[in-house]
Amino acid sequence: MISVQNIYCVGRNYQLHAAELGNRIPSKPIIFSKPTHALVEAKGQSLIVPSGEDELHHELEFVIHIKQPYQPGRIVTELVNQFALGLDLTNRDEQTRLKQKGHPWLLAKGFRNSAIITKLRSFEGIEASQAHDFMLIKNGNIVQRGNLNELIFDLQTLIDYIGTHFGLGKDDLIYTGTPSGVGTIHSGDHLQMKWGDEILGECIIEIE
């Protein structure tokens, strides 16, 4: 597992995903974070996640790895050296309860094993990345499919926004948002994250 300093996540960064949850398209990036203890690499193993009777959702994401500290004017290819696919697991019932109270989402987003990630691969630039779709396969069926050209806020916008408001440093990760198709995970589900024709990571979810 890579050494990670901060895990930033972007909410509602695909129009169809915002629509499927009944949310408005944001006018600026919605940023939240996950603890580094939530991060786990998908290597084909079983992963235990706490959810109880609450509904657990999968959110597939394109993840970028920052190689050096952010400075204004630095472009994506100067700051990003690797990418991965990731799953932002969400306790949807808990998130709904927290939103109704106006509370932060941490309990719904930051639990153990809620930031699943594949192995990292070399980032070859935005255009090269847009040449591939990324997919989540659940029990043999494609349930989510996305492409970087569908982002509401592109990678440069996200990097500038996060770098300006929070700071970005070496070994930070950004989960850039999930496409439509978010759905429920049940105990025993087999999840595979696919980049083009290649499976980058997979795991079996066990809910406790």
Tens digits of residue pLDDT in 61-74: 999 999 999 999 99
Query: Between the CA of residue 166 and those of 68, 134, 159, what are the distances in Å?
Result: 15, 28, 10
The reported pTM is: 0.96
Tens digits of residue pLDDT in 114-125: 999 999 999 999
List 58's β-bridge partners, or say none: 183
What does the alpha-carbon distance between residue 151 and residue 168 come to, in Å, rounded to a whole number? 20
Do 47 and 116 form a contact (C-beta atoms < 8 A)?
Answer: yes
What does the alpha-carbon distance between residue 187 and residue 16 come to, in Å, rounded to a whole number? 27
Read off the tokens for 203.
Answer: 């795991």
| Average pLDDT across the chain, whole number | 95
What does the alpha-carbon distance between residue 13 and residue 101 come to, in Å, rounded to a whole number? 24
Read off the tokens for 86.
Answer: 């990731």
Tens digits of residue pLDDT in 128-169: 999 999 999 999 999 999 999 999 999 999 999 999 999 999
Domains of the chain: 7-207 (3.90.850.10)
